[in-house]
Every structure is written in C-alpha cells, then in structure tokens.
Amino acid sequence: MSLARLLLRELIKGPRTLPAPPPGGGGAEVGAGLAGTGRARLGRSLRIREVDAGSCNGCELEIHAATGPVYDLGRFGIEFVASPRHADILLVTGPVSRNMAQALKRTYDAMPHPKWVVALGDCAIDGGCFAGGDAVLGGVRALLPVDLTIPGCPPPPEALLSGLLTLLDLVSGGPAAPLLPMDGEEPE
Amino acid sequence: MLGNITLMEYLKAGRPVAAHRPWPRFQLDDRGWRDLTGQLAQSDWSLLGLWADGSEVHAAFRDEETAEIAVASLATQDRRFPSLSAARPSAQRLERTIQDLFGLLADGLADSRPWLDHGRWPCRTPMAFTRGEASAGPVAYPFLPVEGQSLHQIPVGPVHAGIIEPGHFRFTCAGETVVRLEERLGYTHKGVEALMAGRTLPEAARLAARVSGDSTVAYSIAFARAAEAAAGTEAPPRAQWMRALMAELERVANHLLDIGAICNDAAFPFMLARCTVLREQVLAANRTYLGHRLMMDRVIPGGVTVDVTREATAVYRGVVKDLRKRVTRLADLYDDLPTLQDRTVGTGVVSASLAHRFGVGGVGGGAASRGGDARKVPGYAPYDDLEFDVPVHPEGDVNARLWVRIEEIHASLGLIEQILDRIPGGPLARPIPTRAGEGMALVEGFRGDILMWLRLSEVGRVVRCHPRDPSWFQWPLLEAAIEGNIVADFPLCNKSFNCSYSGVDL
Ligand code: SF4
C-alpha cells in the first residue's frame, strides 16, 4: 500500500489515542518539598530529561509507550528533550547504579531552576529488587531530592501520564486541559 | 590429537562432573585448558559463555559440526587462567568481567583494562572470596589510541540524547567518517549476579526476569529451565506451551518497536507511530489476559502462573490475524520507499566471517548468513513440535537486520497460532524438588540466544547463577559495523542491533 493511502486511512480513522487518565491515579506520590515550590509559570508545558540510572530497561519501554500515539504524552504539553538545560523535570529510572551516580548528578546540576525530580518505577523509588546490593545506591533519594514517585515494575504508561499530570497541576496551579478531546477512540 | 576431533572427544580427556544437566561438564587441568586454546584455533566450536564461580572458570561451547554442547571448567591455580580470547575474540569482555568481579586474572588477555569496574564500587572484585579494597577513585579509562592525520574524537554518553540506556561511545572520525568506534559500558551494573547468590529460587527468578527487561519472558524461561535442569525435573507440558506463547508475543512486540525505531532513526517517524500502535495491541492484550504488559514474572521455576482462557485465545487469534495483515502492509511500504532504503541498504555492514568469529546468533547473526536459533539447535519444548522458519540474509547491513525482524515477526505469528490451536491440557506448574545440582539452559530471546547457568545448594538455594545476554557478542559487531560509515548513521546502525546495556552490565 502506498504511503499516501496509508496516511489517508489514518486520517479518516481519527486518532488512536486513549482518553487521559485522571491525575493522581496510578499510586503516584508527591514529595513534601513540592507544595512550597512557588508555582512557576510554565505555561502548562513541561520538558523532561530522562536518565536511566541502571534500570533493567523495562521502565524505558513504558516511557516509550507513553510518548507514542496511543498514550500521546505530547498532547498535554509534555515533551522529552535531549539537553538537561532545556528540561524542567528529571525523570529517573533504575536503582541508581554507582557507575551512573555521577552522570545523574551532573545532569541534575545542569538543569536550570525551577526543577523537579520524578522517580519512576520501584527501582528508582527504593532500589526495588536490586536494593541492598553493593553496586547501587538503592533509589534516587540517596542522591537527589525527589518530588514525585510513580510506583510499578514497570509503571504502565497511564501511571506515568497521571503522575506527570499531577505534577503539572501542582507546578502550574490548575487542572490539566488536554489539547485533544478526551474521548479519543480506543485503538482497535 | 589436533585435527578433526569433536568437542566431546576433546573434553572427555577431562573429569566429568556429576549432576550437571542437560549437557555434560568436564573439569580440565591447567594443561587441558591451555591446549584448549590451541584446539579452538582449528575447531568450529562456538563460545557460548565464559564465567567464573569462586576460583573456577567455566566455558560453554557448541560444536557446530555435531551440535554437541558442553562446559569446560578449570580450577585456577594462583587465581590465574589462560585466556581464550586469542582464539575467540568474543571471550575478551567476558574475561575482563571475570577479572573485575572475581579477581581471577586471564593470562594472555590482550586488553586488560577494567570493564565493569569503573572504580566507583565500595570494594573491588566484589564476587571474589576475599574482596579487594575500594579503588582510590574513578578509573581514568584509556581509550585505545588511534593515529592518523586530521582525526578528531567525539565522546558520547553515558547520558544519551534519547530515552535509551546509558553507555559511552568514543568515535574517532576523519571528517564525517567514523574511523573507529569504541564502546565503554558497565554504567548500569547493578550486581545482579552477586544479588542472586544465596537467594531462594523465587527470589532469584525475579532478578533473572530483570536482567534485561525487554527480554523478561525469555530470561524467565532460561532461568526456569536451568533451575529445572539442576533439580532434575521439567515443567508440565501446558506450562511449556504457555511459555512459548509468551516468548513469541514478546518477540513480536520487541521486533515491532525495533522496526519502527530503525525507520525513525532514518527520518521516517510514521513507521514508528504505526509500529507503536501495533505493539500496543499486543501489550494491551497481555495486560488483560496475562496480567502484565511485559509479562514479567509470569514464568516461574516449575511452570507458569497464567493460563489462556477461551476468550483470550480468541483475542490473541484476532491480534495475530490483524498483525499479519498490517505488518505485511508496512513491509510493503518500506519496500516501496527508496529514500528510506537509501539509508539502510549497505549501511553498517557486518561480514559473515566476523559474525562467525564472534559466534553471534539472533538478528545480528541471521542478517549475516548465520542462522543460529536456540529454538532449533539445541531446541527445547515445545518448539520441536512446532513449525517455523529461521530467516537468514547474507548482506549483513541495516536493511538485512530489518528484514530478519519482519520475517521473524511472521514466523512468531505462525507459532502463536499453532500454540493456540494445539496447546495441551494439564497442570500449569509442578513443585521443584529440593536438591543440589547444576543446570544450564539456552533460550532464544528476541536478540538471540540467552545462556543461563546455575548451581543449586542442597537446600535449594542459588549458589551461583550466570546469565549471558546475546548482546555480549553483538556489541563488538556494532563497533565493526560502523567503521567507514558516517557519524549520522550511527543511531541507525545502533538501533539495527539494539543491544541490551543492562543485559551485559548485569
Ligand atoms: S522498576 Fe522494574 S521495570 Fe523498572 S527498571 Fe526496575 S526492575 Fe526494571
């Protein structure tokens, strides 16, 4: 099938994006430090720098899924960026291997203020099943202040979505208004 | 004694070790191991794995002529062993790892820079009987020197631009062309092997499932099979078929993502979007019917924890039908776009001889004339009862690796249908008898063959477990593949291999 026909079919079909999950779902927990962070005017847009600090790569798979057309993180104004200097959020996965600790700290230091840290997945929260090993710090908290934790092994994409929406609400002071209609059709 | 001797004939000179299943293990003396290096130079024996265990080293081989598999072991004297890397370059990083973790020194190893040990651990040689003192500070890693006119270096990583695992790449370039790429990995080292020691089977199985999350099913199967072999038991038939079902679903989902990602790196994001949608069909069904999108921890030693209901069978049949149609369409689309193929054809070529030297299987091997597949050789249940082809392409470029993936998806879809049609009834698990023993398993993950070796104590705890990811043998090929290509094609080449970082960093 030609590209033009495939594209046309997609256009006619409409988006395959699932409706947005409610903020606060998926067991996300907000750190104590966050309430006081003077609500920055981010214009409802968040830029994320992701760092794998020794994950098993399962969490990365689900982050990818969250950025894809089905969960479409981008519709909320949330995008991943390459440079930490452009980022508002540091999204960390993995139990923080000692071999990655310095790179993680440097990435954090390179980010401008205000900035927030999200620990994604059981590993990033407390080391998960790698806790207690000599080669890991056992969670992001051992190195950086954590503002939001999203549990799961790995957390499914909508847990990431609702966690980030919670954060977006808190830092910009208002409920998230998605750009696309909330009743996107289910993918077949 | 040189010449056309088979692996088994050679190793029989050693002392057979009892209770190593399903393949034999032989204890060699120092001389036997030293001669092995000579013998390897003229025998077609692939190195399947090389790992340490206390003060012993073990090497697993497959004789490509007879398909025999066996493990050779050496009890080191003065903590030294003769290096195999001159005859098998794939041994190099494995030996550097042994040096770092166990403090056993490989005599004759050409490159003895540390590999996993970056000088950041609280102690050195963390898995040796007596651990070393902590390093004074991070290791200054000397990259291999490159000489020539107007060369410049580009350091990349460990934090990459995208959402991928961390690792360092050091490019040496002449203008746009890469003259040499050197990889430095180890950043995601979590000490998985050390954590496994002393654990119960269920605890260690959870860790095995997280050696490389994208291959969680394949790893869980490998661990379960190794544990079952060590304890002298087998999972019931229905469990073995359920495992194969999940393994093929995992293969399809991963290949879909890789095909999309390769095209995305060649500036065609449409394919990634489409493939992600297709992949989600599989993952959504997994969540509903198997309880987890990636199917983590569904395979356990002794069996599986999930079953397919009639409804699930119908849904998966529908998914297979739909995917077959849509993947064919996307493959036609790819075939139809010369601008896309302009990037993939002839890019990142791996020669068949190099693939052979590294004994690489899976996608990297299949795209370079080497169609090894653990489901066929040595084979394991239920694949001996199922029909499928292993795709082989001779070109060794990005395009070939893409086609191998497309064809493997079709093969897996066929397998899923056969499994759903013919899965036998019966129990889903059987308890593992508590007894000492050693077991090994070879399981085909989506990247290639995973080796799992473990020893159980009398009380059924894991004494030592070693998982060997297929990426150990594919990472070095990437270094070779990128040579002579432009820097801008690196992401494309890298994605076409999609090696695991976590799987080799452990
Ligand atoms: S939380 Fe689970 S999926 Fe995520 S990195 Fe850890 S082990 Fe892997």
DSSP-assigned letters across all residues of B421-487: HH---S-SB-PPP---EEEEEEEE-SSSEEEEEEEE-TTSBEEEEEEE-THHHHHHHHHHHHTTSBG
Query: In the numeric block, which tokens belong to residue A168?
Result: 């977006």
pLDDT tens, B74-121? Answer: 999 889 999 999 899 999 999 999 999 999 999 999 898 999 999 999
User: Nearest residue on chain A to B186, judged by CA atoms?
Assistant: A99
Which of B156-170, B223-237, B453-467 is predicted least confidently?
B156-170
β-bridge mates for residue A136, sequence order:
A97
B123, B124, B141, B163, best to mutate vs chain A, most A CBs in 10 Å? B163
Q: What is the pLDDT of residue A45?
A: 80
Q: How far apart are the first and last CA of chain A?
A: 20
Chain A residues near residue B186 by CB distance under 8 angstroms: 99
Q: What is the pLDDT of residue A9?
A: 82
Residues B388-417 have a mean pLDDT of 95
Gap between the Cα atoms of B187 and B168, Å rounded: 9
Could you tell me where in chain B the CATH 3.30.460.80 domains are found?
Answer: 7-107
Q: Is the pLDDT of residue A24 over 90?
A: no
Q: What is the pLDDT of residue B193?
A: 96
C-alpha distance from B2 to closest chain A C-alpha (Å): 44
Among A52, A62, A153, the residue with its CB nearest the CB of B165 is A52
Contact status of A68 with chain B (Cβ, < 8 Å): yes
Q: What is the pLDDT of residue A176?
A: 43
- Residue B388 DSSP label: -
B418: how many CB neighbours lie within 10 A of its CB?
A: 19
pTM exceeds 0.95, yes or no: no
Ligand 1 atom, smallest distance to A58 CA = 3
Confidence of residue A32 (pLDDT cuts 50, 70, 90): low
Using a pLDDT cut of 70, give the percent of chain B over it. 99
Q: What is the pLDDT of residue A75?
A: 86
Q: Is the dihedral of CA B138, B143, B145, B147 positive or negative?
A: negative
Under an 8 A CB cutoff, do A97 and B188 touch?
Answer: yes
Chain A residues near residue B214 by CB distance under 8 angstroms: 57-58, 61
Q: What is the pLDDT of residue B311?
A: 94
Q: Is the pLDDT of residue B359 over 90?
A: no
Answer for the pair B219, B148: CB distance below 8 angstroms, yes or no. Answer: no
Gap between the Cα atoms of A141 and A37, Å rounded: 18
Under an 8 A CB cutoff, do A56 and B211 touch?
Answer: yes
Chain B residues near residue A101 by CB distance under 8 angstroms: 120
Cβ(A127) – ligand 1 distance below 6 Å: no
Element (H, E) at A64: helix A58-67
Name which residue leads in pLDDT, A160 or B4: A160
Under an 8 A CB cutoff, do A133 and B195 touch?
Answer: yes
Architecture of domain B7-107: 2-Layer Sandwich (3.30)
Nearest alpha-carbon partner for B169 in B154, B189, B179: B154
pLDDT tens, B288-323? Answer: 999 999 999 999 999 999 999 999 999 999 999 999
Q: Is the pLDDT of residue A76 over 90?
A: no
Q: Is the pLDDT of residue A187 over 80?
A: no
Using CB atoms within 10 A of its CB, is residue B184 exposed (0-12), middle (13-18) or buried (19+)?
Answer: middle
Answer for the pair A184, A15: CB distance below 8 angstroms, yes or no. Answer: yes
Per-chain mean pLDDT for chain A: 83
C-alpha distance from A119 to closest chain B C-alpha (Å): 15
pLDDT tens, A114-138? Answer: 899 999 999 999 999 999 999 999 9
Q: What is the pLDDT of residue A186?
A: 39
Residues A85-113 have a mean pLDDT of 95
B97, B125, B131, B188, best to mutate vs chain A, most A CBs in 10 Å? B188
Q: What is the pLDDT of residue B305?
A: 96
Chain A residues near residue B337 by CB distance under 8 angstroms: 3
Using a pLDDT cut of 90, give the percent of chain B over it. 81
Expressed in percent and rounded to 5, the helix, strand and coil fractions of chain A are 40, 15, 50
Contact status of A65 with chain B (Cβ, < 8 Å): yes
Q: Is the dihedral of CA B375, B380, B381, B384 positive or negative?
A: positive
pLDDT tens, B314-352? Answer: 999 999 999 999 999 999 999 999 999 999 999 999 999
Gap between the Cα atoms of B346 and B319, Å rounded: 34
Could you tell me where in chain B the CATH 1.10.645.10 domains are found?
Answer: 198-468
Residues B375-385 have a mean pLDDT of 92
Under an 8 A CB cutoff, do B187 and A100 touch?
Answer: yes
Q: Is the dihedral of CA B188, B191, B193, B196 positive or negative?
A: negative
Gap between the Cα atoms of B443 and B247, Å rounded: 10
Answer for the pair B220, B208: CB distance below 8 angstroms, yes or no. Answer: yes
> Cα B351 to chain center, whole Å?
20
Cβ(A93) – ligand 1 distance below 6 Å: yes
Gap between the Cα atoms of A150 and B398, Å rounded: 37
Contact status of A78 with chain B (Cβ, < 8 Å): no
User: Nearest residue on chain A to B268, judged by CA atoms?
Assistant: A3
Q: What is the pLDDT of residue A81?
A: 94
C-alpha distance from A152 to closest chain B C-alpha (Å): 11
What CATH number should be reported for the domain whose range is B198-468?
Answer: 1.10.645.10
Nearest CA residue ID for atom 5, ligand 1: A55
Confidence of residue A3 (pLDDT cuts 50, 70, 90): confident
Residues B384-396 have a mean pLDDT of 92
Q: What is the pLDDT of residue A123?
A: 96
Name which residue leads in pLDDT, B387 or A9: B387
In order of A94, B276, B324, B453, the CA distances from A150 in angstroms are 12, 23, 35, 34
Chain A residues near residue B500 by CB distance under 8 angstroms: 57
Element (H, E) at B75: strand B69-75
| Interacting residues of B285 by C-beta distance below 8 A, sequence separation 6+ | B312, B315, B316, B319
Per-chain mean pLDDT for chain B: 93
Mapped to the 3 state alphabet, what secondary structure does B232-258 carry? CCCCCHHHHHHHHHHHHHHHHHHHHHH
Among B191, B212, B276, the residue with its CB nearest the CB of A134 is B191
